[in-house]
Amino acid sequence: MNMQAPKSFKKADSRPKVLGVTKDGVKILAPRRKATNFTQTELREAVAKALAKSA
């Protein structure tokens, strides 16, 4: 009996993309899927603001 997983599953070892690191070492990660509650511009501004505060 063959107990292999279907080949359609993606590997679980992919790492999230790091957008930036604050001066205290906190990594800001890219979202896994498209945002539903915020626009890309709002997200970009929030990340820039967080990075500016830590600099």
- How high is the pLDDT of residue 55? 66
For residues 7 and 48, the model is more confident at 48
15-45 in b/e burial notation, b at 16+ Cβ within 10 A? eeeebeeeeeeeeeeeeeeeeeeeeeeeeee
Residue 7 pLDDT > 70, yes or no?
no
Percent of the chain clearing pLDDT 90 (strictly above)? 4
Q: What is the mean pLDDT of residues 22-31?
A: 86
